Chain A
Amino acid sequence: MSKDMTLAIDRIKCDGRGLCAELLPELIRLDDWGYPILAPGPIPAHLMPLAQRAIEDCPVLALALRRTERTK
């Protein structure tokens, strides 16, 4: 049973502060207006601590972990 996790962004809460991209540039980059673009796929294990930090540091709590298998 795969335990892959990805990052999920609440796009309405997100207001382009950009801390996530500073902390996790391997997975997050900013578009031309400062809003995050997530790299697709699960979070590599060695980046999990940084991902956790990005989630905690987001000033508006827009970032969260999500399991990759999600059924509607």
Chain B
Amino acid sequence: MTRLLDAPDALTALPNAGKGLIDAIERSGLVGRGGAWFPVATKWRAVAERSHGQAVVVVNGAEGEPQSKKDRLLMTTRPHLVLDGAFLAARVLRAARIVLYIGERHDVARNAMLRALAQRTEPERRIVTVSAAPSRYVAGAETAAIHLINEGIATPTTAPPYPFERGVGGAPTLVQNVETLAHVALIARTGQAPHTVLVTLAGALKQPGVLEVEKGTTVAEAVRRSGGFTEPPRAVLVGGYFGTWVETQRALDLELDHGSMRRHDLGLGCGVIGVLPTSRSPVRETAGIMRYLAQESSAQCGPCFFGLRALADTCTRIAEGTSKPEDLKRLQRWAAEVRGRGACRHPDGAVIFLSSALDLFASEFANDSAYALRRTA
């Protein structure tokens, strides 16, 4: 069975693709690998229905999540596979344009993609342009990518209108992650359903980095392949900064498969699995990530900008032992209030992350709050 990272990267003829490809994608059950895990066939159909030759395909290689490295690795080592997927999408959706949206600092990945593009002979190569994604967290969001391409500014926009309705240049637009497109290419070539997923292992591990794991691989196995823990683990962050903190033993038993995780009310997100060692304070770690997420707000919506900042400041105060007695309650209240009140999903992701921290690290948060009281008493 072919895997992404050892699929052949030599230039081979693009397989024929018509509407049948969407059916094949649907049968395979492929879901998007950009973090949302949305059914790919549904997305393609929505664009196909509205396209009469003017659709746009955006190849999303922005990879805004700081700890994630899978998209960069894929673009660097298998650019042709990604381009295959992009060209196939353009053919099936009757696109007039393909945009490679690659992180502006991902020089190696971009050069690999451009070199590969120069070697292509298909007519689609002439409709490809490249846009650099600013290195900000929200720049990888679909509407931000579209806004960057349209107006030159990578800020998320209100949806509706959704990209498949009105996107680049007002045309129905497919924004698809590079890993997803690579899987589409494999489906078109081999007919096989995707059986692997790319994950980035990070944190207290001997050999952190990107792994391609088979369906059913557990976190424990991925940890083993990453050389094991460098020190005893306290908890595992599943899904990156918009993910969920999970108690170590429970995390180790999880299968690295989004569907399986959903059954446990978790999600694979952007595929980052981060290990927090016992030597680090979970409250400090949470506060640091909340400060980052607050700074990465595009400051277009009050609840997100002010809410995340207040949440981050309060977490920081708790971590430093200078909190006030009502701070824990405020965290709960603000977290509940901020949800769903931004134009994009940034505040929601941050709040999911924080809620899981308040849940798993309840005693640490309580202790650190109490510490402040004892100090000032």
Contact = CB atoms under 8 A, between A and B. Distances in A.
- The answer to whether A and B touch directly, with their CB atoms under 8 angstroms apart, is yes
Interface of A: 9-16, 31-35, 37, 72
Given A33-B307, A37-B337, A37-B341, A12 B158 contact: yes
A12 B310 contact: no
B329 to A, nearest CB: 13
Interface in B56-89: none
Interface stretch (B119-127, B295-303, B319-327): B295-303
Q: Of residues A11, A16, A33, which shows the largest number of chain B Cβ atoms within 10 Å of its Cβ?
A: A11
A11 B341 contact: yes
B157 A12 contact: yes
Contacts of B343: 10-12
Q: Of residues B300, B304, B342, which shows the largest number of chain A Cβ atoms within 10 Å of its Cβ?
A: B300
A35 B341 contact: yes
Contacts of A72: 162
Interface of B: 157-158, 162, 300-304, 306-307, 310, 334, 337, 341-343
A1 to B, nearest CB: 22
A63 to B, nearest CB: 13
A37 B303 CA distance: 9
A9 B343 CA distance: 9
B303 A33 contact: yes
A33 B330 CA distance: 14
A33 B341 CA distance: 13
Given A11-B300, A12-B157, A35-B302, 10 more contacts: A9-B341, A10-B158, A11-B158, A11-B303, A11-B341, A12-B158, A31-B303, A32-B306, A32-B334, A35-B303
A72 B303 CA distance: 24
Contacts of A13: 158
Contacts of B307: 31, 33
